[in-house]
Structure formats: structure tokens, C-alpha cells
Amino acid sequence: MTTLFILDVPENVPVVDVASVDPAVTVDRIGPYFRIASDLPIVIDRRATGCRHAVWYSSVAGLGASRITQWDKDAMRIEPL
């Protein structure tokens, strides 16, 4: 299971919104964090989020049994370990 945590602050919300467009992705919460999970890799398009770089490159709060295999100006890709 690919699992990604993102803190609920206003500028991170578009990252969660873009991730959740994928029908394989589920989003729930643990406290003030979004937990984004999927049986498949999770891919988030940076331009679709509208995030500028400072927020984009600090938007991940935690990874559950997953690793980031791409995190650049185009996209973030997270895969299960």
C-alpha cells in the first residue's frame, strides 16, 4: 500500500486535491494530516496543483512503507517499498 501524509494547511490542499483525482486513491485523516493511500503508485502533477517550488518541495509530511521515486518540478511519484 502506498501511503503519504500531508499536513492540512491552506497551501497544501491543492496537492491533496490533485492526488485524489486518481480513482485508486483514498484520502482520510489522522488528526490534522491527510492520509493519501493507494494500492498503486501515487503520482501528483505539480503544475496541476499550482504549487510554487517552496511549498511543493516541503509538502510531504510522512511516508508509510513507501518511497519517493520522483520529486521534481514536474511531478511527485510515490511507490510502495
Partner 1 sequence: MEHMVRGVDHAAFPTFDPAGTVTFYRDVLGFPVVHSICAAGWGPDKHPDFIHFFFDIGNDDRLAFFYYFGLEPFDGGPQGDVYAKFEQHVPIWFIRSRHLAIHVDSERALLEYRRRLDDSKWPVEMQVQHETIESIYTHDPNGYMIEITRALRPVTPQEDLDANLTIDALLDVVSGPDPSMAALLTRKAELIVERAAAWELSNR
**Which residues contact partner 1 (rule: CB under 8 A)?**
3, 5, 7-11, 30-33, 51-55, 60-65, 67-68
* Exposed/middle/buried for residue 38 (C-beta within 10 Å: 0-12, 13-18, 19+): buried
Which CB sits closer to partner 1, 8 or 45?
8
Per the CB < 8 A criterion, the answer to whether 38 and 26 are in contact is yes
Q: Shortest distance, CB of residue 24 to partner 1, whole angstroms?
A: 20
Which CB sits closer to partner 1, 33 or 48?
33
